[in-house]
Structure 1
Amino acid sequence: MKTQQIQLKKWTKAAFSIGGLILLAACANTSEDYAKAGDWNAVGYSDGIKGKQHRTASDFKDYGTVNVNDYADGYMKGIKEYCNPNHAYQIGLSGNYYEGVCEGTPDSQKFRMEWQRGWNDSQLNK
């Protein structure tokens, strides 16, 4: 019985890992598309939900005029979702590096601990 539980736990982790990777792949190049379309809120959200560092207007110099307020609003929405400690373990387990974007948020310590736990487990599975 215990062996079955361990196998089920490993299978569950693998399934979540694959699901997380699929989700990230679906979001892979949308920032560029949104920037070309001038949807700066969506660019910010896309960066935030992926846990990327906040960009400046000069990072988008090839796209013409940038609405930095829309970008910042979208980014904050994305970061709020990304920094949920209930998802941090899966982010780490998927092998996604944490860039420290949750520091200063109410659950930053819990997020980092859960991400680290997932990251450590991902390294053991390699």
Structure 2
Amino acid sequence: MKNIIMASVLMMLAGCVSTSQEDLAQEGDWRQIGYQDGIRGHTERSFSQLSKLGSVVMAEYDEGYLEGVAEYCNPNHAYMIGLSGQPYEGVCEGMEDAQQFRMEWQRGWNEYSN
């Protein structure tokens, strides 16, 4: 039960971003843009993609992205991510718990799809 509550809170936080990425780019907060991409389980964006938002600081984006992905890839939340209908983009591959994450996500996704 505790894991379900934690996963729900995590998903709400990931979805409740009050500042747009354009605003964050204008403010120069590339770390937050990376964090948002990572915590949502999106694949990392390229310099070319990010430069459309402004003068990107790739090191800051990468730092935030890695932090976000580390939180997203928690296998204790994977079931709820799948159950919510969020597709998995493979961002956890290469991490220690990648297989467990995939299995739990798939279990949730299967329930969502049925």
TM-score range, shorter chain: 0.7 to 0.9
2:94 counterpart residue number: 104
Greater gyration radius: 1
Which structure 2 segments of 5+ residues have no match? none
- My pick for the range that moved more, 114-123 or 52-61, is 52-61
Residues in 2 aligned to 1:77 and 1:17: alpha-carbon distance in whole angstroms? 17
Correspondence 1:36 to 2:26: yes
Which structure 1 segments of 5+ residues have no match? 1-8
Correspondence 1:80 to 2:70: yes
Q: Is the 8 A contact 2:31 2:64 kept in 1?
A: yes
**TM-score of the aligned structures, taking structure 2 as reference length:** 0.84
- My pick for the range that moved more, 94-103 or 57-66, is 57-66
* Larger fraction in helix: 1
User: How many percent identity over aligned positions?
Assistant: 48
1:68 counterpart residue number: 58
Shift of 1:31: 2.8
**TM-score of the aligned structures, taking structure 1 as reference length:** 0.77
Matched position secondary structure for 2:52:
helix
2:108 counterpart residue number: 118
Greater relative contact order (Cα < 8 A, sep 6+): 2
Q: Is the 8 A contact 2:79 2:107 kept in 1?
A: yes
Change in CA separation of 1:108 and 1:28 when aligned onto 2, cut-off 3 Å: farther
